[in-house]
A and B are shown apart, each in its own frame.
Chain A
């Protein structure tokens, strides 16, 4: 009799887990693979710390309007009277005061803390939405290509190759500005929501390929396994085969791919803002904030420090959590 790989992994892990149980009550506790992964994740201190950091930042981002209300300052408020004649914040360390916790932006005099909170909201929303869309497209395309094979596989693989061959940046540079022109007249403001949507679409158009390839490879190796044969022999339909038999065995790589895609999109969105095709002024955005702060490294390091450290923490926490997740879901993959 053959076992599905998930069950195999689960059994392999039962022995060490049982070691911790005291000899007196040596009884088998039935645990699902998910529970096992969860307990492994909880024991990983890096994972816990990253998760806490992420949680805090996400709550901050989600509650941005509320925080703004409590803090008493809006993201577009300008405090130019608190700047000196050169447009640099007065006072200590870039204008840090009880009112402005992280100081003020040079020149425009906007509050850095509240703009970071709002900027985080923009960045995290784009990154999560893009990761979700790309993972969904990638999983569906990969599972279909891998399982059905033949013409379907050939066509999907061909599309994947084309999407991979297209240069992302050049495509983004060409599409993003023209899209706004297409939908909005010369006197209409382009709303921030539209800019966000365009970015998500651009990321989705290119980001799904790696997940699709990953899933396709996994499915090809799975579809020849006995449990799939057995299901097929029992007369299971296509839907059941794909989503009941194959998909549960793919969750581990998909989750890891997702968790690694999020930080990639955060930095990707920042990079596009560097090129001036991301989110435009005056909407708060992390990438643009960092881009604008870099020339002030010598004259106002606080302006560079706070957003820089936050995006560093955000991306690092996501990456570490992704790694920890992979270790927890598939203990054979590392160490």
Chain B
């Protein structure tokens, strides 16, 4: 009898649990409709590059701000930082030659950080650039930062032992992708790489063999952080960087905790972007995306002043969007990370098949599989909307869920057999695409690729797949960091290709050269035009969506916005409510 009663109670409980979610889902959109319109400029007035940064309304000083993240940050050494977490963390303890003034609204201005202005194009040919260093900028030990230390920082990025960082400056200075063979840092520690000079303590000069109009942008990455030669601990700098920013690393337990405390020698008057409101910033590593989000939702104790770095996982989005109480604690917005279904044009040589793919695509369905409208926004362009000068257009108007009839018409009765390579971490992406494309008459074979090897495998020129998913996020919001990188056929090599569509069209390549030689400010419109041309003439990929960031923070946190450049939470304006 007792057993029966227990069973009945258990059954009732289980039923209740299911019915608990019994309210009708009428499909209220949790999407983020605001299309952040990006407008960007390069500051010409040196006043814009001067501090202090404009106060964030309601911000208060003090307290400990926490960030919860699953894994440790791969690198702290500014010359090696390149992961998104690293890029957002680095401004806390390092200053760069230039930086973006950004408040998350989409209006970004490139300003000088250590430099007085974002660079002077000496001969107006983009080959010689000059930077004047600000007065009053100091390291954590109080010693002044001069052009010598910045040049030393750039020089040490040539060291092949210091892997992981971006390589634009090195390649441009050495005028070769094998920059470390051209100039050996270890043998020439006392000198500087070719083309880099410091005429005096306040001046830094770059001289390139080829024009590089993007230099002011490229100089905003952390590898331009200064370092004193006697503080260079080589690979160990990764554990304890030497600070030039508002905080210094005081404790770093790999994979557990990273503690940043106020650097008293940082002068806010020299800094146009950093606020440094909290006394202490603590990264705690370990909890996965779900645990992190649940902790912040619960909002207990220290978690009240925490940000869940891994965002809202797709399984929790429905719960978070429906909870109005979480609204003021959530940060949503567009990222520059654009997903596309790349078509391997060396295999799919028929343009009409590639165009048919563009018509057949059910972006809405794919976004549902990816995680829903709160995490992705459909695009039809190769440039992400966060690019400066972005113009929206549809080369192949397919509607939200695809135009199957139009695709069939283009295929004219053919049933092209396509092999879709899909990472084995998310096989359901392949399932959805197969179902979607087969409706339009394609025959799709799914082939799973080990997720950790996918990037390498797809980057091989002779890879065996016809279509595969790719994503690209540019390092600065210019078309120059997207289109020539992804679609210039002259860069195709045997392995490690970014041009995974393997398109090589002479007319388009010439256009790339022409636009790249224009001054940075004039390029924006040209890139938008070229984007349309590539899509219409080559159809090298099916643009799918741009990722949307969706983050939660505790009730005592303020000042978090999504960086317009990288689409991740910016930490430089964060504050803890007192």
A contacts, CB < 8 Å to B:
76-78, 80, 83-95, 106-109, 177, 185-189, 276, 280-282, 292, 295-296, 298-302, 305, 309
Contact = CB atoms under 8 A, between A and B. Distances in A.
B224 to A, nearest CB: 41
16 contacts: A80-B368, A85-B29, A87-B314, A88-B25, A88-B372, A91-B25, A93-B21, A107-B368, A107-B369, A107-B371, A108-B368, A177-B450, A186-B465, A281-B428, A281-B430, A282-B431
B29 A302 contact: no
B56 interface: no
Nearest to A81: B401
A298 B315 contact: yes
A188 B364 CA distance: 29
Contacts of B371: 86-87, 107
A187 B465 contact: yes
B428 A298 contact: no
Given A107-B314, A108-B428, A187-B445, A85 B18 contact: no
Contact of B427 (A77, A86, A107, A281): A281
B428 A84 contact: no
B22 interface: yes
A107 B139 CA distance: 51
Contact of B364 (A80, A177, A299): A80
A205 B25 CA distance: 48
Contacts of A88: 25, 318, 372
Interface residues of B, number: 52
Contacts of B166: none
User: Which residue, of A93, A94, A107, has the highest number of chain B Cβ atoms within 10 A?
Assistant: A107
Contact of A89 (B18, B25, B419): B25
B292 to A, nearest CB: 14
B416 interface: no
Nearest to B347: A187
A187 B25 contact: no
Given A281-B430, A299-B319, 13 more contacts: A76-B435, A84-B26, A85-B373, A86-B372, A87-B372, A88-B318, A90-B27, A91-B24, A92-B22, A107-B314, A280-B424, A280-B427, A301-B17
B313 interface: yes
Interface string B165-204: 0000000000000000000000000000000000000000
B294 to A, nearest CB: 8
Given A108-B431, A298-B319, A299-B319, A83 B18 contact: no
Interface of B: 14, 17-31, 290, 313-319, 321, 362, 364-365, 367-369, 371-374, 419, 424-425, 427-428, 430-432, 434-435, 445-448, 450, 464-465
Contact of B317 (A86, A185, A292, A309): A86
Given A85-B30, A86-B321, A187-B419, A93 B435 contact: no
B447 A186 contact: yes
B464 A186 contact: yes
B464 A85 contact: no
A295 B315 contact: yes
User: Which residue, of B25, B31, B362, has the highest number of chain A Cβ atoms within 10 A?
Assistant: B25
Contacts of B20: 301
Contacts of A87: 314, 367-369, 371-372
Contacts of B367: 87
A276 B424 contact: yes
A177 B446 CA distance: 15
User: Which residue, of B21, B24, B431, has the highest number of chain A Cβ atoms within 10 A?
Assistant: B21
B35 to A, nearest CB: 16
A50 to B, nearest CB: 15
A84 B464 contact: no
Contact of A93 (B18, B28, B290, B450): B18
Given A301-B18, A305-B18, A90 B431 contact: no
Nearest to B290: A295
Contacts of B446: 189, 281-282
A83 B369 CA distance: 10
B364 to A, nearest CB: 7
A78 B445 contact: no
B319 A188 contact: no
Contacts of B425: 276
A80 B400 CA distance: 12
Contacts of B314: 86-87, 107, 295
A295 B313 contact: yes
A32 B306 CA distance: 73
B204 to A, nearest CB: 49
Nearest to B294: A298
Contacts of A302: 18, 21
Contacts of B431: 76, 108, 281-282
A305 B17 contact: yes
A277 to B, nearest CB: 9
Nearest to B434: A282
Contact of B448 (A280, A295, A299): A280
B4 to A, nearest CB: 13
Contacts of B30: 85-86
Given A80-B364, A85-B29, A87-B369, A298 B316 contact: yes
A109 B427 contact: no
Contacts of B450: 177
A186 B450 CA distance: 13
A220 to B, nearest CB: 41
A12 B421 CA distance: 66
Nearest to B21: A301
Contacts of A280: 424, 427, 448
Sorted nearest first, the 8 A-B pairs with minimum C-beta distance are A295-B315, A86-B372, A84-B27, A281-B427, A87-B368, A186-B464, A85-B373, A299-B318
B24 A80 contact: no
A190 to B, nearest CB: 8
Nearest to B375: A86
A192 to B, nearest CB: 11
B370 to A, nearest CB: 8
B96 to A, nearest CB: 38
B445 A188 contact: yes
A86 B447 contact: no
A85 B24 contact: no
Nearest to A293: B315
A299 B313 CA distance: 11
A105 to B, nearest CB: 9
Contacts of A107: 314, 368-369, 371-372, 428
A177 B321 CA distance: 39
B315 A189 contact: no
A44 B21 CA distance: 38
B34 to A, nearest CB: 15
Nearest to B28: A84
User: Which residue, of B30, B372, B434, B445, has the highest number of chain A Cβ atoms within 10 A?
Assistant: B372
A309 B18 CA distance: 12
Contacts of A177: 450
User: Which residue, of A76, A108, A302, has the highest number of chain B Cβ atoms within 10 A?
Assistant: A108
Nearest to A185: B464
Given A80-B368, A87-B368, A305 B25 contact: no
Contact of A78 (B28, B317, B365): B365
B17 A187 contact: no
Nearest to B27: A84
B376 to A, nearest CB: 10
Contacts of A91: 24-25
B18 to A, nearest CB: 5
A300 B21 contact: yes
A95 B450 CA distance: 33
A329 B361 CA distance: 61
Contacts of B321: 86
Contact of A299 (B315, B362, B365, B430): B315
Given A187-B419, A187-B447, A298-B319, A85 B17 contact: no
Contacts of B445: 187-189
B442 to A, nearest CB: 14
